[in-house]
């Protein structure tokens, strides 16, 4: 009788353990944790009522959807989305999309590094009514889900790239497939030319083998630099300065223009200024940064002199 009780109790414990494991897998399998904010300034009152649950709809979709079949074991990627909405008729809207994503450094300490910031202006038009349910199908174009899916896949690919050399390849190909589906559909805002130059050049850069060396240097920037800061800051700064130098060499030898490079330094300028402000140990770093990111020359010059801009 005791044996039977023990067996029954063991079965219950095993069942609970399996359930907890499945729950853990479910919780960690999703790649994105997103916050959505809407700017509806200037929209008529009746349109505000129509769009009342749009934010909730998007957050529910982004935070419950798996965008890849990867067994995602690390922390979910923090993504902040701001949508500037305008009305173009009943249930029809246009929007500017602003996305900022972070790369986790230490989950226990809640530290992170801004990874990329995207601006998608004047290319998004869609129809929305409350109660709409979004679904993930990268073979089918949807005027709300597809643009979100595209950027989430790009973000996931970039996050993978920061942990392993070119680990985002397969995910970027999936994002490119979404782009191709949208272009073949003739969807507004997905043209390869004109106002949508950003998405086109972004996915071209991410899937262009010619830019693989720069993507490898982004991996190096994180693994040999940012991830090492808490453990050995002087060595981490030396490694980052060396990586920035190799990025400058790459641009000088092989590259005249890269949307990916522009986006990287658009996101990293503040971080680099804070890391090297007034630093005399790596005098070449600011010359390299001004060559790589000339639009922020004033900020780098101020940081070199130890000043805030």
Q: CA-CA distance, 246 to 42, in Å (whole number)?
A: 47
Half-sphere exposure of 112 toward its Cβ, with a 13 Å CA cutoff?
17
Clarify whether residues 37 and 25 are in a common domain. no
Q: What share of the chain is helix, strand, coil (3-state, %, to 5)?
A: 55, 15, 30
> Does the pLDDT at position 4 exceed 80?
no
Residue 52 inside a domain? The answer is: yes
Half-sphere exposure of 268 toward its Cβ, with a 13 Å CA cutoff?
21
Clarify whether residues 46 and 146 are in a common domain. yes
> Does the pLDDT at position 109 exceed 90?
no
Q: Work out how many domains the chain is built from and give that number.
A: 3
Q: CA-CA distance, 194 to 94, in Å (whole number)?
A: 17
Taking all residues of the chain, what is their mean pLDDT, rounded to a whole number? 87
Domain boundary among 157, 177, 195: 157
Q: CA-CA distance, 206 to 169, in Å (whole number)?
A: 8
Clarify whether residues 66 and 2 are in a common domain. no
Residues 6+ apart with CB under 8 A from 168: 156, 157, 158, 159, 160, 161, 206, 215
Clarify whether residues 86 and 108 are in a common domain. yes
For tokens 């989430």, the residue is 152
Clarify whether residues 77 and 54 are in a common domain. yes
Clarify whether residues 128 and 219 are in a common domain. no
DSSP string, 92-117: EEEEEEEEEEEEEEETTTTEEEEEEE
Q: What is the pLDDT of residues 133-176, one digit of tens each?
A: 999 998 999 999 999 999 999 999 999 999 999 999 999 999 99
pLDDT at 191: 73
Q: What is the DSSP letter of 76?
A: P
> Does the pLDDT at position 273 exceed 50?
yes
Q: CA-CA distance, 33 to 63, in Å (whole number)?
A: 5
The pLDDT of 281-292, averaged and rounded, is 95
Residues 6+ apart with CB under 8 A from 277: 303, 306, 307, 308
Clarify whether residues 38 and 149 are in a common domain. yes
Residues 6+ apart with CB under 8 A from 295: none
Clarify whether residues 298 and 254 are in a common domain. yes
Clarify whether residues 73 and 121 are in a common domain. yes
pLDDT at 63: 96
Clarify whether residues 13 and 38 are in a common domain. no
Q: CA-CA distance, 31 to 171, in Å (whole number)?
A: 12
In this prediction, residue 92 has a pLDDT band, given cuts at 50, 70 and 90, of confident
Q: CA-CA distance, 144 to 141, in Å (whole number)?
A: 9
Clarify whether residues 296 and 269 are in a common domain. yes
- Parent domain of 152: 31-157
> Does the pLDDT at position 3 exceed 80?
no
- Token pair for 125: 């038009």
- Token pair for 144: 């709300």
Q: Are strands 77-87 and 32-39 parallel, antiparallel or unpaired?
A: parallel
Question: Virtual CA dihedral for 212, 213, 215, 216, nearest 10 degrees?
Answer: 120
Clarify whether residues 35 and 141 are in a common domain. yes
Reduced to 3 states (helix: H, G, I; strand: E, B; else coil), residue 231 is: coil
Residue 16 inside a domain? The answer is: yes
Q: CA-CA distance, 92 to 233, in Å (whole number)?
A: 51
């Amino acid at each position: 009788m005791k044996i039977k009780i023990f067996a029954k109790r063991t079965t219950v414990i095993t069942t609970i353990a399996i359930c907890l494991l499945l729950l853990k897998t479910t919780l960690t399998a999703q790649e994105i944790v997103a916050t959505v904010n809407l700017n509806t300034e200037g929209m008529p009152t009746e349109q505000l009522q129509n769009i009342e649950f749009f934010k909730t709809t998007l957050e529910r979709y982004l935070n419950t959807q798996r965008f890849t079949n990867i067994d995602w074991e690390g922390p979910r990627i923090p993504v902040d989305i701001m949508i500037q909405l305008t009305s173009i008729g009943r249930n029809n809207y246009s929007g500017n999309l602003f996305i900022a994503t972070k790369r986790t450094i230490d989950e226990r300490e809640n530290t992170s590094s801004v990874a990329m910031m995207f601006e998608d202006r004047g290319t998004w038009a869609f129809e929305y009514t409350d109660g709409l349910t979004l679904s993930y199908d990268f073979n089918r174009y949807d005027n709300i889900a597809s643009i979100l899916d595209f950027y989430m896949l790009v973000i996931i690919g970039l996050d993978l790239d920061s942990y392993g050399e070119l680990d985002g390849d397969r995910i970027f190909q999936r994002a490119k497939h979404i782009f191709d589906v949208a272009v073949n559909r003739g969807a507004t805002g997905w043209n390869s030319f004109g106002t949508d130059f950003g998405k086109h050049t972004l996915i071209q850069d991410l899937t262009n083998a010619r830019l693989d060396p720069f993507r490898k240097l982004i991996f190096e920037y994180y693994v040999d630099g940012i991830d090492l800061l808490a453990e050995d800051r002087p060595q981490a700064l030396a490694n980052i300065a060396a990586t920035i130098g190799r990025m400058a060499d790459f641009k000088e030898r092989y590259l005249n223009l890269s949307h990916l490079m522009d986006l990287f330094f658009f996101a990293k300028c503040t971080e680099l200024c804070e890391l090297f402000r007034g630093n005399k140990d790596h005098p070449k770093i600011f010359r390299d940064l001004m060559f790589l990111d000339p639009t922020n020359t004033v900020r780098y010059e101020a940081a070199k002199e130890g000043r805030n801009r």
